[in-house]
Structure 1
Amino acid sequence: MNRITFERWFPSALKALFFSVLVLPMVSLKAQDKSHQPDHALFEAKIRPLLVSHCSSCHASEAKQPKGKLRVDKLLPEFADVANRERWQEVLKRIKAREMPPKSEPRPPDKDILVLTDWIAGRLESIPAKNAGQGRVALRRLNRIEYENTVRDLLGVDIDLREMLPPDSSANGFDNNAEALHASSFLIDRYLEAADTALGVAIANLPQPPVFKKRLLLKDERAVKVSTESVYLQREDALVMYSSSHWNAITVGQFYPQDRGKYRIRISAFGHQSADKPVTFRVDAGPMLMGTKNHLVGYFDVPADKPKVIEFVDHFEARNHIRIAPHGLANAQTVVKLGAEKYDGAGLAVQWVDVEGPLHDVWPPESHRRIFGDLPQASSPVYNDGRRVEVVSKNPEADVERIMRDFVRRAFRRQVSDDEVRPFINLVNKKLAEKYSFEQAVRVGLKSVLVSPDFLFLREKPGKLGEFALANRLSYFLWSTMPDDELLALAGQQKLNQPDVLRGQVERLLKHPKAAAFTENFVGQWLGLRDIDFTAPDFRLYPEFDEMLKTSMVGETQLFFKELLNNDLSLTNFVASDFTFLNERLAKHYGIPGVEGPQLRKVMLPADSHRGGVLTMGSVLKVTANGTSTSPVVRGAWVLDRILGTPPSPPPPGIGAVEPDIRGATTIREQLAKHRQIATCASCHTKIDPPGFALESFDVIGGWRENYRSVGNGKPVTIGGRRMPYAEGPKIDPADELPDGRKFRNIDEFKQLLLKDKDQLDRSLAIQLLTYATGAAPAAGDKSEVELIVKKVREKNDGLRSLVHEIVQSKAFQTK
């Protein structure tokens, strides 16, 4: 069926559903908001006098304060109003943090503070209860990663669909947050195309593709034959690659698959003239065209003068290639200058590349059988080219009902009623009556399911989650995809909500390979690892930066999180730990000896190391800097938000950003000292700047430094006899003072100060996980539930795995 035909049906059949799913809940929410009646009498009798007595001298007159500062005389007790409620939340936060009143002003009696904070907290906690009819989590659409994974597991296809969909917005730090996941006609159009693509891959309309099996030699590659630079050496048994330059990597053009699928690749290689040291190389796969997206297969090392076979299986689209690139060897100019025949440095010698695939155990493939089972195929009347086939049926009515009932149940991820399945069956039968072939008619039905609200959204009713809703929430939390058969079976048996059963399922899901999605997606957003490519380090200031270092940085953080999760290690390790995950490249960057090879592994840190915890990991330090300089403001705000859970307020309007001086004339500390002289900035910068200054000992790419680097003023720098393109700038000063007066001299002392408040560290991560797990940030009314989670986790030695269990067992997780 073409898209025009489908779209003629789609509006009339599904617009009503989308209206009921997306619009009616919003109307009911607005109606319920009217029930939030302010308690004016109590406010005027007890609260306003406290504000007038203790706050109005600074916060009740624009003449006495800069524009934009909080005005307590403008505060109203209407907590249903979002903007007004946020002002009260800010007041409560400042008072509890003892930031207000400032040190220069007299402190109110404790009883007055208690009356004010209890009143604000009580009013905040009452909000969700009055919205109980709607629930704390709005209707949530699958984000594009969840959509791709769900289609993969539903159909059994390995396909990239996320790039066909527009990027998802984020709220509260995560792109699975219900508030940010909007729907539009444009998005539905993209879903139509994605469904077409997925079904086209899942359903087999051609004979089984022939297996390509061949041994390839790099000396036969066109890039080698036409090379005018002597960067390759032709040995009798191998081709030697001397240069690590991107332009001298070899794309294996002889491998040009006509069919998509999984291929087995075997590469025989060894180190040439490498003085008994292994040689490392990188393998990429993908289209290999300018502007296209390739992916890293991995880094591998091979021994000197002793061939080693590297083997892997990877998915390839049609006409994809692989690329082999040595790492850590000479640059091309050095080799060309001497000539490959005379060059005596190390090289990568590649003997051969074996390719086999696509690999199919059965045909038609599993994806096809998930839909049509063992129904026969015949020549296609649509294409009529003699090769293409289509599924046919001797009993269309019975087969349509069986196929659609099974598909709708699996796609909706729950039990379905006759009334829910009947419209899809009727649609297929209508197309059969219009002389569509059996397969083409079924495709119409399948496609309509894949764009229906029950597939694209997580349907949850207000109150305690039903069994299937609970199965979906758990699966999308830990796997970023649909529940498997075991979860759905337990939900169907009404057993999943039993605490012991639920705990057992959490353990099962965390031990499954699909749990890698939890690490990748949660850590990628919580710590900002997805932004690792957002900026590129200036090559003049950071010439040592390379792709392997970047890849190793991200891998370190992900493996560190996985280690804490798998072994239920304390959350305090996120601030300070005595181990991390390193390979030779990252260990060299950190100045830690004794680590060899490209594979990341657990390494105990030396006693004098400044590393340990995520704050000092290269990935975090890179994503909190730009390509040329670091900013204590940016890094400090990041620590307050992601680690401590106390994000700073936005800067007042009209206040410009501080731009670090990379020419070395002034330091960032000198610039921020002037910034702090602005009254509206001072109160926030006393919180933001200290953690930022503590991290100033780390540069843009996470390297330890005693001095800034500059491209202007400064002392020349020479490393290994080579003059660096940067100069040694002013000395680093990482010392500062916390708002409560505690001082630190460096990052090590700062981390120890953070560890003094373990409850806040636990609370912060509990909120982050609860936000990611449910698709909504905890509201004020969830405070008691969050504190209960923190209490239970503290009783279990602050373990990360324990925290995940307590999140899942909590009322906040099991309630819409």
Structure 2
Amino acid sequence: MPRWFGFWAAALLGAVSALETVAASPPASAADSIQFEEQVRPLLLQHCMACHTGAKPRGNLSLDALKPDFTDAASHARWASVMARVQSGEMPPKDKPRLPPGEIQTLTHWLAPRVAAADAAALATQGRVVLRRLNRTEYENTVNDLLGIQANLKGQLPQDGSADGFDNAGAMHHTSSFLMEKYLEAAETALNLAIANRPKPPTLIKKRYSIKDGHPVRGSTESVYRFLEDGEVVCFCSSEWHNASISTFYPSDGGNYRFRISASGFQSPGKPVTFRVTQSGTALTGTSGLVGYFDVQPDKPKVLDFVRHMEPRTTISMLPYGLAGANTVNKVGGEQWTGPGLAIQFVEVEGPLHPVWPPESHRRIFGDLARVKMGDTNYGERVEVVSAQPLADARRILKDFTRRAFRRAVTEDQVAPFLAIFESRLAGGHTFEQAMRAALKGVLISPAFLFLTEKPGKLDDFALACRLSYFLWSSMPDDELLQLAAQGKVSQPEILRQQVERMLASPQSAAFTSHFVGQWLGLREIDATEPSHILYPEFDHLLKVSMIRETELFFGEILKNDLPLTHFIASDFAMLNGRLAKHYGIPGVDGWEFQKIRLPAGSHRGGVLTMASVLKVTANGTTTSPVTRGAWVLDRLLAAPTPPPPEDVPSIEPDIRGATTIREQLARHRSDPSCSVCHRLMDPPGFALESFDCIGGWRDHYRVTGNGGEVVIEGRRMPYHKGRKVDPADVLADGERFADIDQFKQLLLRDKPRLAGAMAAKLVTYATGRVPQPADREAMAALVTAVVAKNFGLRSLVHEIVQSGIFQNK
């Protein structure tokens, strides 16, 4: 461990400690305490304490233990919640006596100025957002963009915590000496990839391969292939053990490689054949390890061209989708098989690709400084950067590097500590490059790199550029945005609007869709459970990947065209491919490629509520729970999360035998006073979704493993049985009844401003790193008013957020 590491670790932890100090409002006076005891506590005793006291208070809110101390963050938040619920009429509940207007006024008039004073004190001292560290994704993207490399650095860092559904929440970004060590290791990995110590690039591979020479085709004992002229091979089965690779391509050097795969459908008249390409060395979970799915037409060879970053000693494999099993084909033989297949003519590989040497990543740091031989390695000669004017070159390099790394203009004083590291290492006998590596590592583990530099009050142009860039790109600002910040133009409303449009049009904005949607809707949990192969034998990898892709494309379509965000509740179109369309029972769609499909009359699909991705992540592998799904609806679509259940209340165990229904099991919870206050809110949305099974398929009856009716599909007897009939009807907390998911959607659409407010809250949380606070009520209301006037457009909402004070102030 370098000696200078301790200096930067201590500096970083000290900065975190100082900047995370929580501001406090002035302590309560004796007069305040007397007023509370004489005017407020009697109201609470009369109207609230019966439910919100004791060992099992409703909603986990115990008012007898809540003190009028607004200097305590937890107490402040609870009092703010009490005030909001009383003002909205949510409390007391409708089945309890209402507070007279005069008593409501007494309570809110006492609370409002104290809550506001605590809010104002916190805003003035630290802003609404605490110090934010780059999360793992942002760190990896930032290092890669800074250095011009492609490095998997997330795997070297511990998992990020999350708050309010997002992992960029500043309050959950703890820092430790262990994390600092991991940052140092990641910085070394990144610099090793960026800096070229070879005198010339790795040997270029440029070769055409046939899968007949690879595994498992070459050694297969099953007759599932047909061998044609010029190395063309037809694959007739989709069994996993026949995942055909070009195993003779196994490069010793990592880097970007260009692949050209020539393939076509075979004996598949009128329909495309879909196949997947995977990369070895990474487990195939979700999209990890997946290059992609592709369609090829029958008898028309198509060359698929793509560039892929490959780790050393890895290769690619291809497997057709939806064909017969190997055992079935083997009984007939590949030469006689008359069913469809995938013909692969050849696979061409070229790489690693290096247009120039030293590569761009090296030149970003050292420019055109000379390199000389310093010895031999396993790769041959080793060269290092040298300098005739080491101190002058180090100062120039570090000033430019820190400017880009810190994402703002830097002073000589800010560069000085890193220059001191360089000078110390150089004086200790290290070479110019070795001393520069130490200084560059110092930059990459410094507070100014790892944290977003924001001061209380209005953000300066550099901080605003960073907030915008990490919102829409999950990475550092590019040169154009930094140049505008240096000119003081980012904060100009029209310039800011132009930059949002430019950034949303960039391919980098895919990060916004992926990371926001993945966390807002919980799609990152797609692999958390594996559906039972007995209850859901039709579930496969293509369906899972299609689920995720549908939701991302749907969000992208609404964002791109500024469609009303009410489409997230109910929409007359969906983004579908053949696999998902079959799953939804919608005819006329084939292959992997997605299309915007107008939903047929009577379809229960449309909106995220009925997407298979959402329905899967809100279920386990065997059964569904109205509680889980109902809580998801309240939190993700209405921004009204329910508190966790009391610790002594047991969870509901699923009954996959079908002896009891989930409605019968939940009746016990609804009868428990400590549970009913939340279950009357959660259960109805969950019951509305009971018509959808664990993988998002429509159902009229439950699937069970116990006694039930036999199920036969396309002549095949299923391993599960038909259970009891599904009952999706219920009553909302306000007394409105619905019969099914279609009626439930319409009830949600009655209050479009509430839906807009919920979406605004999620976007603000993701964009700023903190959920909206009580002090933000007026600003959030203004956002809703603005987006209502623009027909609830999602893109308009993004613009309004970026132009708002919430976004432009710390």
Q: What is the TM-score with the length of structure 1 in the denominator?
A: 0.95
Contact 2:215 2:246 in 1 (8 A): no
Contact 1:686 1:739 in 2 (8 A): yes
Give the C-alpha shift of residue 41 in structure 1.
4.3
Contact 2:256 2:352 in 1 (8 A): yes
Change (3 A) 1:459 1:67: closer
2:119 counterpart residue number: 128
Give the C-alpha shift of residue 102 in structure 1.
3.6
Q: Deviations over 1:702-733 (max 9, x none)?
A: 01110110011210101111110100111000
Identify the range of structure 1 (347-356 vs 687-696) with the bigger mean alpha-carbon deviation: 347-356
Give the C-alpha shift of residue 420 in structure 1.
0.8
Q: Of 161, 165, 186, which residue of structure 2 is paired with 1:169?
A: 161
Contact 2:58 2:675 in 1 (8 A): no
Give the C-alpha shift of residue 127 in structure 1.
2.2
Contact 1:379 1:386 in 2 (8 A): no
Give the C-alpha shift of residue 224 in structure 1.
1.5
Contact 1:287 1:293 in 2 (8 A): no
Give the C-alpha shift of residue 122 in structure 1.
4.5
Q: Name the CA distance, whole Å, in 2 between partners of 1:225 and 1:104.
A: 74
2:488 counterpart residue number: 494
Q: Name the CA distance, whole Å, in 1 between partners of 2:380 and 2:322.
A: 53
Identity of aligned residues (%): 57
Q: Secondary structure at the match of 1:757?
A: helix
1:10 counterpart residue number: 5
Q: Name the CA distance, whole Å, in 2 between partners of 1:14 and 1:92.
A: 45
The 5 Å alignment of 1:417-428 reads: 417-428=411-422
Change (3 A) 1:117 1:335: farther
Change (3 A) 1:440 1:282: same
Q: Does 1:183 find its partner at 2:175?
A: yes
Q: Does 1:226 find its partner at 2:219?
A: yes
Q: Name the CA distance, whole Å, in 2 between partners of 1:334 and 1:120.
A: 74
Give the C-alpha shift of residue 687 in structure 1.
0.4
Q: Does 1:199 find its partner at 2:191?
A: yes
Q: Name the CA distance, whole Å, in 1 between partners of 2:504 and 2:233.
A: 44
Change (3 A) 1:399 1:114: same
Q: Name the CA distance, whole Å, in 2 between partners of 1:331 and 1:114.
A: 72
Q: Does 1:540 find its partner at 2:534?
A: yes
Q: Name the CA distance, whole Å, in 1 between partners of 2:497 and 2:586.
A: 40
Contact 1:284 1:294 in 2 (8 A): no
Identify the range of structure 1 (686-695 vs 37-46) with the bigger mean alpha-carbon deviation: 37-46
Give the C-alpha shift of residue 653 in structure 1.
2.4
Q: Deviations over 1:464-499 (max 9, x none)?
A: 111111111111111111111111111111121121
Q: Name the CA distance, whole Å, in 2 between partners of 1:641 and 1:249.
A: 41
Q: Of 759, 778, 786, which residue of structure 1 is paired with 2:780?
A: 786
Identify the range of structure 1 (102-111 vs 163-172) with the bigger mean alpha-carbon deviation: 102-111
Change (3 A) 1:103 1:441: closer
Give the C-alpha shift of residue 56 in structure 1.
4.5
Q: Does 1:618 find its partner at 2:609?
A: no
2:427 counterpart residue number: 433
- What is the identity, as a one-letter code, of the residue corresponding to 2:4? W
Q: Does 1:85 find its partner at 2:73?
A: no
Contact 2:9 2:177 in 1 (8 A): no
Contact 2:208 2:348 in 1 (8 A): yes
Change (3 A) 1:664 1:118: farther
Q: Name the CA distance, whole Å, in 2 between partners of 1:68 and 1:582.
A: 41
Give the C-alpha shift of residue 72 in structure 1.
4.0
Q: Secondary structure at the match of 2:355?
A: coil
Q: Name the CA distance, whole Å, in 1 between partners of 2:567 and 2:470.
A: 26
Q: Secondary structure at the match of 1:755?
A: helix
Q: Name the CA distance, whole Å, in 1 between partners of 2:140 and 2:508.
A: 14
Q: CA RMSD in A?
A: 2.2
- What is the identity, as a one-letter code, of the residue corresponding to 1:127? A
2:328 counterpart residue number: 334
Q: Does 1:101 find its partner at 2:101?
A: no
Q: Name the CA distance, whole Å, in 2 between partners of 1:568 and 1:67.
A: 41
Identify the range of structure 1 (80-89 vs 616-625) with the bigger mean alpha-carbon deviation: 80-89
- What is the identity, as a one-letter code, of the residue corresponding to 1:236? E
2:107 counterpart residue number: 116
Change (3 A) 1:122 1:503: farther
Q: Secondary structure at the match of 1:336?
A: helix
Change (3 A) 1:683 1:561: same
Identify the range of structure 1 (225-234 vs 750-759) with the bigger mean alpha-carbon deviation: 225-234
Q: What is the TM-score with the length of structure 2 in the denominator?
A: 0.96
Change (3 A) 1:58 1:137: closer
Q: Deviations over 1:173-222 (max 9, x none)?
A: 11110011111111111111111110111011111122211111111114
Q: Secondary structure at the match of 2:556?
A: helix
Contact 2:260 2:348 in 1 (8 A): yes
- What is the identity, as a one-letter code, of the residue corresponding to 2:492? Q
Q: Deviations over 1:669-706 (max 9, x none)?
A: 11111221112111211100000000001100001110
Q: Name the CA distance, whole Å, in 1 between partners of 2:722 and 2:369.
A: 73
Q: Secondary structure at the match of 2:259?
A: strand
Q: Name the CA distance, whole Å, in 1 between partners of 2:177 and 2:52.
A: 47
Change (3 A) 1:382 1:291: farther
The answer for unaligned runs of 5 or more in structure 2 is none
The 5 Å alignment of 1:172-321 reads: 172-206=164-198, 207-237=200-230, 238-287=232-281, 295-321=289-315
Q: Name the CA distance, whole Å, in 2 between partners of 1:403 and 1:61.
A: 64
Contact 1:663 1:710 in 2 (8 A): yes
Contact 1:68 1:653 in 2 (8 A): no
Change (3 A) 1:138 1:288: closer
Contact 2:282 2:289 in 1 (8 A): no
Q: Of 136, 142, 158, which residue of structure 1 is paired with 2:134?
A: 142
Q: Name the CA distance, whole Å, in 2 between partners of 1:70 and 1:448.
A: 47
Give the C-alpha shift of residue 83 in structure 1.
3.5
Q: Name the CA distance, whole Å, in 1 between partners of 2:75 and 2:259.
A: 61
Give the C-alpha shift of residue 346 in structure 1.
1.2
Contact 1:126 1:781 in 2 (8 A): no
Give the C-alpha shift of residue 148 in structure 1.
0.4
Q: Secondary structure at the match of 2:126?
A: coil
The 5 Å alignment of 1:434-583 reads: 434-583=428-577
Q: Of 631, 652, 658, which residue of structure 2 is paired with 1:637?
A: 631
Contact 2:398 2:415 in 1 (8 A): yes
Give the C-alpha shift of residue 376 in structure 1.
1.6
Q: Name the CA distance, whole Å, in 2 between partners of 1:419 and 1:383.
A: 39
Q: Name the CA distance, whole Å, in 2 between partners of 1:677 and 1:739.
A: 15
Q: Name the CA distance, whole Å, in 2 between partners of 1:698 and 1:784.
A: 39
Q: Name the CA distance, whole Å, in 2 between partners of 1:296 and 1:525.
A: 21
Q: Secondary structure at the match of 1:568?
A: coil
Q: Secondary structure at the match of 2:220?
A: coil
Change (3 A) 1:592 1:37: farther
Q: Of 738, 745, 752, which residue of structure 1 is paired with 2:739?
A: 745
Give the C-alpha shift of residue 798 in structure 1.
1.1
Q: Name the CA distance, whole Å, in 1 between partners of 2:287 and 2:49.
A: 58
The 5 Å alignment of 1:751-766 reads: 751-766=745-760
Q: Does 1:362 find its partner at 2:353?
A: no
Q: Deviations over 1:428-479 (max 9, x none)?
A: 1222222211111111111111111111111211111111111111111111
Contact 1:245 1:332 in 2 (8 A): yes
Give the C-alpha shift of residue 79 in structure 1.
2.7
Contact 1:288 1:320 in 2 (8 A): no
Contact 2:59 2:643 in 1 (8 A): no
Q: Does 1:726 find its partner at 2:720?
A: yes
Change (3 A) 1:251 1:114: farther
Give the C-alpha shift of residue 260 in structure 1.
1.8
Q: Deviations over 1:338-376 (max 9, x none)?
A: 222332211111111111112221111110100011112
Identify the range of structure 1 (306-315 vs 199-208) with the bigger mean alpha-carbon deviation: 306-315
Q: Name the CA distance, whole Å, in 1 between partners of 2:473 and 2:309.
A: 21
